[in-house]
């Protein structure tokens, strides 16, 4: 059965504690998922649809060290009195292939002010060493967030400041459990960082840039930091912010001041955000990136960790035209798996040929 869906974000392919991969995709009013029947595949079950009335066709997904998968989205529901209710909702899947928990609301930063609540952006889910964070662009163009403590109890919405955001933030977690966030504005990008695991998220200096909305990705690097990639609004070329770039504490008054940074162009002709994965290729820790190319085909590139990020990286196209952003994961055998949603709504996957040098992908299979 084909499913009409979109994948505007990456990170939608994850490996559970039992070693099986699950692919998640948002549809209007619900979520669909496919699950490997056994670790390493190649057979899958699905697509299985989970009804979530009012859910926008967008998901942000975060996974705990125990393998628990948290899915977050934005729900809009019309009431008989004409009022449109908007709230941030989330669900958790504790085991591969098992039922998700009931979708629960964490509200919005605006309580019963439905007009301002309707202006928030879609949520970003990211985990630190303590628990889950849910973050949104607020009605004023800054960021608000709620965090879950080690007992699973939600704290209040917190105003994390910032301004002029065009889109929701992206985020990633370092190996020691510290979050870094990235937010696009028209003339610069904003960042927030935890200086210690579980600590508060604090602003760092802005970086001059012209990011294209809906294209940001954040991912951990081999040196224990976080990298950010986005497309330039003028030519859609990918930009990579080096995690080694000098930073310093920021403030609302000085947030728009220029800060010295190191940007690298990754080249490539594509659309949407980039999927990222760290693995070992030819005995070297490496980073693999995947994007939807300008032709509509998925394209991949890879480079060794510890070296300079390649300028105008060499991208290799593969497979058939896809809808939305691709996803990357390692399967139970340690193989790189590239997944896309085809234009007919089916899940397609290609796995690494580990007997060959570099990143060689095998034939594409329909799940």
Q: Is residue 357 part of a domain?
A: yes
Q: Is residue 6 part of a domain?
A: no
Q: Is residue 349 part of a domain?
A: yes
The pair of structure tokens assigned to 344 is: 């007919």
The pLDDT value recorded for residue 260 is 44
The pLDDT value recorded for residue 205 is 87
If one counts the domains in the chain, the total is 1
The pLDDT value recorded for residue 238 is 92
Q: Is residue 174 part of a domain?
A: yes
The pLDDT value recorded for residue 305 is 85
The pLDDT value recorded for residue 132 is 97
- Decide: 39 and 22 in contact? Cβ < 8 Å: no
Q: Is residue 4 part of a domain?
A: no
Q: What gap in Å lies between CA 225 and CA 244, rounded to an integer?
A: 8
The pLDDT value recorded for residue 243 is 59
The pLDDT value recorded for residue 287 is 94
Per-residue pLDDT in tens (0 to 9) along the chain, 367 residues? 455 555 568 999 999 999 999 999 998 899 999 999 999 999 999 899 999 999 999 999 999 999 999 999 999 998 877 778 999 999 999 999 999 999 999 999 999 899 999 999 999 999 999 999 999 999 999 999 999 998 999 999 999 999 999 988 999 999 999 999 999 999 999 999 999 999 999 998 888 999 999 999 999 988 888 999 999 999 999 999 975 544 433 344 434 333 345 678 888 789 999 999 999 999 999 999 999 999 999 999 999 887 677 777 889 999 999 999 999 999 999 999 999 999 999 999 999 999 999 999 999 999 8
Q: Is residue 1 part of a domain?
A: no
Q: What gap in Å lies between CA 44 and CA 308, rounded to an integer?
A: 38
- Decide: 148 and 154 in contact? Cβ < 8 Å: yes
Q: From its phi and psi, is residue 283 left (phi > 0), alpha (psi between -120 and 50) or beta?
A: left
Distances in Å between the Cα of 345 and the Cα atoms of 1, 49, 137, 342 are: 9, 13, 30, 5
The pair of structure tokens assigned to 93 is: 């899947």
Q: What gap in Å lies between CA 9 and CA 170, rounded to an integer?
A: 10
* CATH number of the domain bearing residue 348: 2.120.10.10
Q: Is residue 86 part of a domain?
A: yes
Q: What gap in Å lies between CA 175 and CA 264, rounded to an integer?
A: 23
The residue segments making up the domain with residue 268 are: 13-366
The pLDDT value recorded for residue 55 is 95
Distances in Å between the Cα of 319 and the Cα atoms of 83, 225, 257, 299 are: 45, 32, 44, 9
Q: Is residue 18 part of a domain?
A: yes
Q: What is the DSSP string of 4-54?
A: -----SS--EEE-TTS-EEEEEEETTEEEEEEESSTT-S-EEEEEEEE-TT
């Amino acid at each position: 059965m084909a499913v009409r869906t979109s994948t505007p974000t990456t990170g939608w392919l994850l490996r559970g504690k039992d070693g099986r991969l699950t692919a998640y995709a948002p549809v209007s009013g619900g979520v669909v998922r496919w699950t490997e029947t056994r670790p390493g595949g190649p057979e899958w079950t699905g697509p299985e649809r989970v009804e979530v009335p009012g859910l926008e066709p967008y998901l942000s997904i975060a996974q705990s060290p125990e393998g628990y998968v948290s899915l977050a989205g934005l729900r809009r529901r019309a009431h008989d009195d004409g009022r449109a209710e908007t709230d941030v909702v989330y669900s958790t899947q504790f085991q591969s292939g098992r039922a998700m928990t009931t979708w629960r609301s964490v509200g919005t930063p605006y309580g019963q002010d439905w007009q301002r609540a309707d202006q928030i952006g879609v949520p970003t889910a990211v985990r630190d060493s303590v628990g889950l964070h849910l973050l949104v662009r607020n009605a004023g163009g800054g960021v608000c967030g709620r965090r879950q403590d080690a007992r699973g109890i939600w704290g209040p919405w917190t105003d994390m400041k910032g301004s002029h955001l065009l889109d929701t933030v992206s985020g990633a977690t370092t190996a020691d459990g510290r979050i870094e966030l990235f937010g696009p504005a028209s003339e610069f990008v904003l960042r927030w960082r935890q200086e210690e695991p579980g600590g508060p998220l604090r602003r760092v200096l802005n970086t001059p840039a012209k990011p294209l909305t809906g294209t940001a990705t954040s991912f951990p690097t081999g040196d224990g930091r976080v990298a950010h990639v986005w497309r330039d609004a003028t030519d859609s070329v990918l930009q990579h912010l080096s995690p080694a770039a000098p930073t310093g504490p920021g403030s609302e008054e000085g947030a728009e001041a220029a800060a010295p940074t190191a940007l690298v162009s990754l080249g490539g002709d594509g659309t949407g955000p980039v999927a990222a994965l760290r693995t070992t290729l030819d005995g070297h820790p490496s980073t693999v990136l995947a994007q939807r190319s300008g032709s509509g085909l998925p394209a991949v590139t890879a480079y060794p960790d510890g070296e300079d990020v390649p300028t105008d990286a060499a991208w290799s196209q593969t497979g058939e035209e896809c809808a939305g952003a691709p996803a990357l994961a390692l399967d139970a055998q340690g193989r790189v798996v590239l997944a896309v949603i085809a234009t007919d709504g089916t899940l397609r996957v290609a796995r690494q040929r580990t007997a060959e040098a570099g990143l060689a992908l095998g034939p594409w299979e329909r799940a």
